């Protein structure tokens, strides 16, 4: 195969990224995105691993046997109406690539193409995941269930970071993103006339007690170094001024960086909520919906990923953990790996309707990913 000129590859990747951006698809509905990726991979004679995935796909480069390194990207978009002024704005009302997964998928495609060019000399295999449904936290468990990672030695994932300067690669050993859990609380009491509250047990007063008590969850149950967060984001009750309602409903999220704090907060929150229900003689239900655990980077591979950033001409930086969620964490429960942030230096945060990507970072990210995979395979050879 003729070596593809890098400038031409960079332009092709940008054009491909813009195409994905124009036609975003929500989690688990990425049928056209998957077809577009498949077509690109086939065009470059890159083999696609036969796996029972509804959307998303897995490519592989390298010899039939040998150690296996995995590079992971994601491909889904968000239910957001785009407000950016780019020429390739979303053509799907209410759907937008506002987390830059179009960038991740294109960068991973570029890495696959660059790896294909050196396939004959690769000391092992590289699997490139184009994962569906990251935003719902279900995509990674679906990939794991196919057995795609069974032989893999290590996994690397990327996410763009508008707050880092363009081309800066940020990571750290240990927790990088938070476990993202959701809770909801339903209070069922007895309503009454607003003038005769003694005839009921006001669920609004109980909800207020729960909101106040929740503020002690972190301050009195989590070690100060753990940086946990509890936020109550919805509280609904009542419908008019002179009736005390018979129910209230609250919802919110808990973000934690360590498994022990995560378990402790769930347990204490449940005890506090149910205890307040008993204290005020109302029926209270506490539901905990576990999301992805924290991304916890393997110390060796996080350090390795930062070293390879420097080796591929990018600036490496040790960054602080962030209380966002990432379903990459599920992979790290199966095998060691590192998640890295790629700076884009853009003004709007992830999930913002005016979110943008810096296209100049695309080809360097592909080069970095390819370099990282090859170096990881070589390091295994030496080990």
| Cβ distance to Zn ion smaller for residue 14 or 295 | 295
Query: What span, in angstroms and rounded, lies between the C-alpha atoms of 59 and 50?
Result: 9
295 scored as a contact of Zn ion (CB under 5 A): no
Give one word for 118, left, alpha or beta, with left for phi > 0 and alpha for psi -120 to 50: alpha
| Cβ distance to Zn ion smaller for residue 134 or 359 | 134
| Cβ distance to Zn ion smaller for residue 157 or 245 | 157
Tell me, by CB under 5 A, how many residues bind Zn ion: 1
Tell me the residue number closest to Zn ion, measured at CB. 99
Q: Which of these, 351, 375, 341, 376, lies nearest to 167 by C-alpha position?
A: 341
302 scored as a contact of Zn ion (CB under 5 A): no
SS3 of residue 59 by DSSP: strand
Query: What span, in angstroms and rounded, lies between the C-alpha atoms of 17 and 358?
Result: 11
Part of the chain binding Zn ion (CB under 5 A), chosen from 93-101, 177-185, 260-268, 332-340: 93-101
Query: What span, in angstroms and rounded, lies between the C-alpha atoms of 234 and 52?
Result: 38
107 scored as a contact of Zn ion (CB under 5 A): no
Part of the chain binding Zn ion (CB under 5 A), chosen from 46-54, 91-99, 235-243, 354-362: 91-99
Part of the chain binding Zn ion (CB under 5 A), chosen from 94-102, 121-129, 263-271, 282-290: 94-102
Part of the chain binding Zn ion (CB under 5 A), chosen from 12-20, 98-106, 107-115, 297-305: 98-106
Query: What span, in angstroms and rounded, lies between the C-alpha atoms of 21 and 77?
Result: 9
| Cβ distance to Zn ion smaller for residue 210 or 296 | 296
70 scored as a contact of Zn ion (CB under 5 A): no
DSSP string, 288-338: EE------EE-HHHHHHHHHHHHHTT-EEEE---BS---THHHHHTTS-EE
Q: Tell me the helix, strand and coil percentages in the chain, rounded to 5.
A: 40, 25, 35
| Cβ distance to Zn ion smaller for residue 67 or 292 | 292
Minimum Å gap between C-beta 227 and Zn ion is 20
99 scored as a contact of Zn ion (CB under 5 A): yes
20 scored as a contact of Zn ion (CB under 5 A): no
Per CB under 5 A, residues contacting Zn ion are 99
């Amino acid at each position: 195969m003729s070596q593809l000129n890098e400038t031409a590859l960079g332009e092709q990747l940008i054009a491909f990224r813009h195409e994905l951006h124009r036609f975003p698809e929500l989690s688990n509905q990425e049928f056209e995105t998957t077809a577009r990726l498949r077509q690109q991979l086939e065009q470059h004679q890159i083999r696609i691993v036969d796996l029972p995935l509804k959307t998303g796909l897995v490519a592989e480069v390298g010899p039939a046997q040998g150690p296996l390194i995995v590079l992971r990207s994601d491909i889904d978009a968000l239910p957001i109406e785009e407000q950016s002024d780019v020429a390739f704005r979303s053509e799907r009302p209410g759907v937008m690539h506002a987390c830059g997964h179009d960038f991740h998928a294109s960068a991973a495609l570029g890495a696959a193409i660059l790896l294909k060019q050196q396939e004959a000399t690769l000391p092992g295999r590289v699997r490139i995941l184009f994962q569906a449904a990251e935003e719902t936290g279900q995509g990674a468990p679906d990939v794991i269930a196919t057995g795609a990672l069974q032989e893999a030695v290590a996994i690397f994932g990327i996410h763009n970071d508008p707050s880092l300067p363009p081309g800066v690669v940020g990571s750290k050993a240990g927790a990088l993103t938070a476990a993202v859990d959701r809770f909801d609380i339903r209070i069922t009491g007895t309503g009454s006339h607003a003038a005769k509250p003694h005839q009921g047990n006001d669920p609004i007063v109980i909800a207020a007690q729960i909101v106040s008590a929740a503020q002690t969850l972190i301050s009195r149950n989590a070690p100060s170094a753990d940086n946990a967060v509890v936020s109550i984001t919805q509280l609904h009750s009542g419908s008019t001024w002179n009736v005390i309602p018979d129910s209230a409903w609250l919802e919110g999220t808990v973000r934690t960086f360590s498994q022990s704090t995560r378990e402790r907060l769930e347990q204490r929150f449940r005890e506090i909520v149910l205890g307040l229900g008993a204290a005020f003689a109302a029926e209270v239900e506490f539901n905990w919906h576990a999301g992805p655990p924290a991304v916890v980077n393997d110390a060796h591979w996080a350090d390795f990923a930062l070293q390879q950033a420097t080796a591929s001409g990018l600036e490496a930086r040790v960054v602080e953990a962030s209380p966002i969620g990432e379903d990459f964490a599920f992979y790290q429960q199966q095998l060691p790996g590192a998640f890295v942030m790629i700076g884009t230096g853009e003004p709007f945060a992830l999930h913002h309707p005016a979110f943008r990507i810096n296209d100049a970072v695309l080809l360097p990210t592909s080069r970095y990913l390819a370099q990282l995979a090859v170096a990881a395979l070589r390091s295994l050879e030496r080990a």
